[in-house]
Amino acid sequence: MRTILVSAALTAVLATTIAGTALASPATAAPADPAPSESAPSAPSTPSAERSGSAGQPLRTNERNGSFDLQSHRGGRGEWTEESLTAFSRSLELGVSTLELDTHLTRDDQVVVWHDDIMTTSKCADTAPTFAGDPAFPYAGDRVRDLTLAEIATLDCGYQQLPGFPEQANTPGNRIATLSDVFDLVHGYDARKVHLNIETKVEVAGPAGTDEMAALTRAVVGEIEASGLADRSILQSFDWASLNLTREIAPDLTLAALSSGDAWLGVDQPGMSPNLGGIDIDSYDGSLARAAQAQGYDIVSPVFTSVTPAMIADAHAAGLPVIPWTVNQAADITALLDLGVDGLITDYPTRLRTVLGERGLKLPTAYTR
């Protein structure tokens, strides 16, 4: 396991990953989107989820050294059409540390930037078929994996404001981006300090999902390696089997273990969890951090309501930054900053920048073309 300097948060993780040595099952579907935007209860202040045992003294991010990781979730879906090049552009112009995004494979094996397993009709509307009389038309509502890139490119995925996000400025006529489009955008802005947190969205549970998981993971890793931005890219997943495969084929890539809490991890449940690549979380005393460290991962990214002081202490003792998702309310942002997290994933990057600024933190660089 590579040594990671928590005080430098994500930047140090990535630098150590590239400079360090290599790190030494199908999963269930990732959890569905929570209720839009606005928060569940504030992050707990006493240990209750994703248990941690005794650990060393907790390490805190040096908030003034610019290491705090402000991640724009799906490009900032609370403010702009999610996963759109417009959203990623606006995030770069605003100033964020990291663009967070999701990936799927099309029927013709192209990596597209999209969260849902299907082309959700509340987000995407049909315009026209790829050719007259196409029997596959309409495409909205179909699985991404069942459509070609050409078919997906006909969809208007910004035709309306996303329900539940009243502050969102939607982008009519938005077309789904490919992962290479996003890399090109970052290069176009010459955004030299911006990182990308790229999730492999594995949707099919059990043995039937193995081939799809492997195909997506290999395709995403290939795109990352071809981009020239591997040293600033993270691969994250709720499917730890995808992380394990990445560790095997691209051992220098930074890996982030996503978690939805104790029940999802399988705490106090018999047997191995398909979510975790076949390991039993109880073999690690129910600790997210200890399990992630044992698998050779670099970052833990729990649902924010499961974060506790003990979890952070446990993760920092293992050299792992803690970057919770998805944190939208100022009160929750403040509470998690007070607990000592190393970064936050948010639908509202402007809101998070405001809180960071009020605390006197150094803010991420804003870019222009």
131 burial level (CB within 10 Å; 0-12, 13-18, 19+): exposed
Q: What is the DSSP letter of 148?
A: -
Non-local (6+) Cβ contacts of 301 within 8 A are: 236, 256, 257, 258, 259, 322, 323, 324, 325, 345
Q: Which structural domains are found in the chain, ordered by start?
A: 22-117+175-358 (3.20.20.190)
Average pLDDT across the chain, whole number: 87
The string of pLDDT tens digits covering residues 345-360 is 999 999 999 999 999 9
Cα dist from 64 to 34, 95, 113, 277, whole Å: 32, 16, 33, 37
Looking at residues 77-96, what average pLDDT do you find? 98
Residue 9 pLDDT > 70 = no
Distance CA 314, CA 301 (A): 13
The string of pLDDT tens digits covering residues 263-297 is 999 999 999 999 999 999 999 999 999 999 999 99
The string of pLDDT tens digits covering residues 296-327 is 999 999 999 999 999 999 999 999 999 999 99
Looking at residues 91-95, what average pLDDT do you find? 98
Per DSSP bridges, beta strands 69-73 and 299-302 are unpaired
Phi-psi region of 37 (alpha: psi -120 to 50; beta: other; left: phi over 0): left
If one counts every other C-beta atom within 10 angstroms of the C-beta of residue 240, the result is 26
Distance CA 91, CA 227 (A): 20
Report if pTM > 0.85.
yes
Distance CA 130, CA 147 (A): 11
User: Is there a contact between 23 and 296 (Cβ–Cβ < 8 Å)?
Assistant: yes
**Residue 179, SS3?**
helix
Distance CA 25, CA 179 (A): 26
pLDDT at 208: 72
